[in-house]
Structures are given as C-alpha cells and as structure tokens.
C-alpha cells in the first residue's frame, strides 16, 4: 500500500504541470494537407531492355537421299535423336544465342488538376484517375 500512496502525489504533480508547459510552447502547423483526384491525360511506359545469352544446339538437317517424310521415318528419327543425345552429333554444334527482352519498369503519367498540367513517374499505371496529395502552407518571412 505504501508504494501506491507514494506514486499518486507524484503522478498528480506531473499532470498538473503539463498544462503550464503546453502554454509556453507555441505550435505552428507546418502545412495543410488534403487528398484529391486528378484526371490522367496520358500514360507512357518506360521500358528496360535486357539482353540474355543462352547456349543452344544447332544441327545441320540435310535430307537423306531416298528417305520419305512419313510418320514412320519421323518416329524413327525421334527415337534416334533421343538415344543419340548422350553422344555428340558431328553435325551439331553449340552456339550462343542472344535475345532481347523489354519490360516496363515505370510509367510517365501526364495529368491535370484544377487546370494545371503535371507529369510524374510512377511504379504502376494509375488508370483514368490519380489520387494526389495537395499541400498548402504560407510563406513566413523571418
């Protein structure tokens, strides 16, 4: 019980001093903020071009004299190809093949708000409307 009795006067003093400290401090609001919607005019994707190199096997496919392109010859060729994968075919060689890939990494968005046009680079396509943050604050000369 003694511990509770000692804490109550200390707590009361701390709470009674708080309004006096708050009266001495002047709080200046930094800015006024609200959210609104802007009309999107145009969206242009920004692409990143990547180049990938992969090793592929290229084989010379010369037709054998006297062979017909029938189902049986294709099946036999497929079986031969499956069995011959373990050994290197003298008519095949491994060559590097380069491929380019383009992927969008950002979007340049042109939009209008209250008659003024703006442009921002965004990570996603916003669609027809864009939610914006509007901030207004006075200029204070010191």
Residue-level pLDDT at 121 = 97
Rounded-to-integer distance, Cα 12 and Cα 19, Å: 12
The radius of gyration of the chain from alpha carbons, rounded to an integer in Å, stands at: 37
- pLDDT of the residue at 126: 96
Q: pLDDT tens-digit profile of 84-97?
A: 655 555 678 888 88
Can you give the residue ranges of every domain in the chain?
27-136
Residue pair 40/131 in contact by the 8 Å Cβ criterion: no
3-state secondary structure of 28: coil
Structure letter (DSSP) for residue 74:
H
pLDDT at position 23 is: 63
Q: Does the pTM of the predicted model rise above 0.75?
A: no
Mean pLDDT by 10 residues, the chain (142 residues): 48 53 68 94 96 86 58 73 60 87 95 97 96 90 80
């Amino acid at each position: 019980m003694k511990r509770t009795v000692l804490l109550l006067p200390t707590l009361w003093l701390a709470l009674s001093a708080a309004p006096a400290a708050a009266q001495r401090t002047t709080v200046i609001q930094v800015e006024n903020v609200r959210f609104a919607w802007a009309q999107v005019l145009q969206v242009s994707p920004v692409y990143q071009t990547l180049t990938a190199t992969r090793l592929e096997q290229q084989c010379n496919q010369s037709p054998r004299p006297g062979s017909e392109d029938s189902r049986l010859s294709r099946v036999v060729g497929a079986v031969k190809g499956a069995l011959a994968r373990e050994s290197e075919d003298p008519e095949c060689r491994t060559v590097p093949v380069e491929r380019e890939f383009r992927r969008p990494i950002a979007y340049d968005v042109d939009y209008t708000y209250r008659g003024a046009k703006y442009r921002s680079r965004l990570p996603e396509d916003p669609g027809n409307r864009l939610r914006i943050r509007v901030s207004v604050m006075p200029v204070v000369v010191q």
